[in-house]
Structure formats: C-alpha cells, structure tokens
Amino acid sequence: MRNPQLNSNGELQHLLTIDGLPREILTAILDTAAPFTEVAEREVKKLPLLRGKSVFNLFFENSTRTRTTFEIAAKRLSADVINLNISTSSTAKGETLLDTVDNLCAMQADMFVVRHAASGAPFLMAQHLAAMGLEHIHVINAGDGRHAHPTQGLLDMYTIRHYKKDFSGLTVAIVGDLLHSRVARSQIHALTALGVPEVRVIGPKTLIPTEIDRLGVRVFHDMRAGLKDADVVMMLRLQNERMQGALLPSPQEFFKYYGLTADKLECARPDAIVMHPGPMNRGVEIDSAVADGPHAVILPQVTFGIAVRMAVMSMLAGT
C-alpha cells in the first residue's frame, strides 16, 4: 500500500506522521526550511507562495505555540488564515469532524492544520478528502492524541542539525513522560530515519510504553546513566491532564528523579544542547536554572518552528 501521505509521484501530499517517511523527504523539508529562516530578517516578512490560498486552523485541543506559529507561517506565505474556535463552534453543537471538513471544503479550503485529541483524526480527514475526490486539499497534523506531532519532530531535527551539523555521530536522550507523548514518537521516528546511531529514552517504568525498544531506542530508568555523554537532551512535558490513575507519586518526586537539573546535566557532554517542546513545567521536568541556562535552545526551537512550518506548507501547496 502506498504511504497515504504521498501522491503517485512520491511527493508529500499531506503531513500526517514522520513514521514511514523516507530520509530524502525529511532532509528535503529541513533543506527547504533553511532559506525561510532568512525571511524573518527582512523589512517585509512575506513571500507570495500561498497567495490566494485559504488555510484553516482546526484546533480541537488547546494550543498557543503551535497554533500561533502555524498562523505566522501561513501569513508569511501570504495565505488567508482562518482560525476556528472549536469550543464555541458547531462541533460543540454535535457536528461530526467529517461534516465540519465538508463544510469548510464548501468554503474553498486549500489546507487544514488540525490538532485533535483522537489519534488518527488527521488521517481520517485525508482519507475522506481522497474519497471525495478532493486530493488538492492538504492536511497537516498539528498533533493527534498520543500518535504524532510531525512538525514538532521536524523542527526539533532542524534545531539539532543547526547546532550539531550532522546526525551521524550523535547520542540523543529523550526524557520524561513518553507514555502520553506524541512529540516523543515523532522525535524517535525522525531521529532513527535520519541516522542517529544512539537514541535513548529515560523515564519511570510507569511512563515508558512497553516494547518501545522495538522503535530502535535504548531504555533507561536511571537518569544519570541515560544522560551519560549525550549530545542532545530532549525534555518532555509531564502531561498531568492525560494522567489516569496513580502513574506518579507526586510532581516533586518526579522532579527529584527525572527533573533536569544542572547537576544531572553534567553527565551529558559539555556542549550538550537542551530542548523542550513547551509548555514547560518549571520545577517538574526541568529546573529554571537549566531552562534559562547556556545549554538551552528552547526559544530558538520556537523560531525555527516557523521556518519549518513554512517549508512544509509550501511543499504541500506545490504538489
């Protein structure tokens, strides 16, 4: 079966997940993003690539950073951006996802940026568009359930490449709540596809999915051992809102064992970079001294995110 994200020419039609995308496409996205970073320094921060296109931001879950950077990216490409406030929309009145999509297609949508609590919702949309013969309308997954957050994974790869130049000799540690994290899944697929030789995951047994080692990662429950000689430390947010049952004794205890402090960071390489997808829980998964310290590249991640999202949108619009 063809990868549902690719068209018959092997070009990216939708961006739903990093899982299964060939390295060439990931590298092409990162390469395309590079010239877009320069646009932010211009007098007029606008390119005409998506002029006359309508981009619908459909956020069925809350988001500030992702929704805003998608909006900025689309606007810098001259698209018309429509943000739907789902909590007060017809979905709240009982309309199904696909009925919402049909209605927006009737309003000449060209691209959907969708975040949904249900894993697979963007895939369902893409499948529906194909069934309706609307292949020219593109879907970008901005985070679905526990499944994937591909643009976050890509902007993380862009950040790593920016600081480390090359993926081939790196040791990367992903720390924290992997159980609920769609970000971690996208990061793992991207890192392994791009040829990072050592990907580690660190966290308590209750927050590491069983059999995650089948994705090609090494599992550590001791943080200092997992951080040893790491080039890149990718922290994850403790997702309190998704916790069911007693997965953790308390945030304080989590911080004691898995919170990134300057002391624990000393186990990593002296030139290690520290990343976080945001929003940060200071004093839970990361200490303020580290979050604001010299190793942190958390704010550059946000800036690069705009260029990466511009690259994805213009690549999709060009197919």
Partner 1 sequence: MALPDAEALCAALAEGMRTCLHPETALVGIHTGGVWVAERLHAALGLKTPLGSIDVAFYRDDFGRSGLHPQLKPSDIPFDVEDRPIVIVDDVLYTGRTIRAAMNELFDYGRPSRIDLAVLVDRGGRELPVCPRWTAHVLELVSDKNLQLERSESGVLSLRLIDA
Distance of CA 86 to the CA centre of its chain: 21
Query: Given the rule CB under 8 A, which residues bind partner 1?
Result: 11, 28, 31-32, 34-35, 37-38, 42-44, 46-49, 314-315, 317-319
Shortest distance, CB of residue 140 to partner 1, whole angstroms? 16
C-beta of 127 vs 303, nearer to partner 1: 303
Do the bridges between strand 232-235 and strand 273-275 make them parallel or antiparallel, or are there none, so unpaired?
Answer: parallel
C-beta of 46 vs 205, nearer to partner 1: 46
C-beta of 273 vs 310, nearer to partner 1: 310
Shortest distance, CB of residue 39 to partner 1, whole angstroms? 8
What single-letter amino acid sits at 273?
I
The burial class, CB within 10 Å (0-12 / 13-18 / 19+), for 28 is: middle
CA distance 199 to 173: 6
Place of tokens 């996208």: 186
**Residue 114 · residue 58 · CB < 8 Å:** yes
Shortest distance, CB of residue 6 to partner 1, whole angstroms? 14
Shortest distance, CB of residue 158 to partner 1, whole angstroms? 14
C-beta of 155 vs 315, nearer to partner 1: 315
Tell me how long the chain is.
Answer: 319
Shortest distance, CB of residue 31 to partner 1, whole angstroms? 7
DSSP letter assigned to residue 268: S
Shortest distance, CB of residue 127 to partner 1, whole angstroms? 23
C-beta of 139 vs 230, nearer to partner 1: 139
CA distance 234 to 156: 9
C-beta of 303 vs 319, nearer to partner 1: 319
Place of tokens 């995951």: 201
Place of tokens 């320069």: 38
The residues with which 282 forms a beta bridge, in sequence order, are 286
C-beta of 37 vs 261, nearer to partner 1: 37
Place of tokens 């862009």: 158
Shortest distance, CB of residue 46 to partner 1, whole angstroms? 7
The H-or-E segment that residue 265 falls in is: helix 262-265
Query: What separation in angstroms does the CA of 298 have from each of 278, 303, 317?
Result: 8, 9, 29
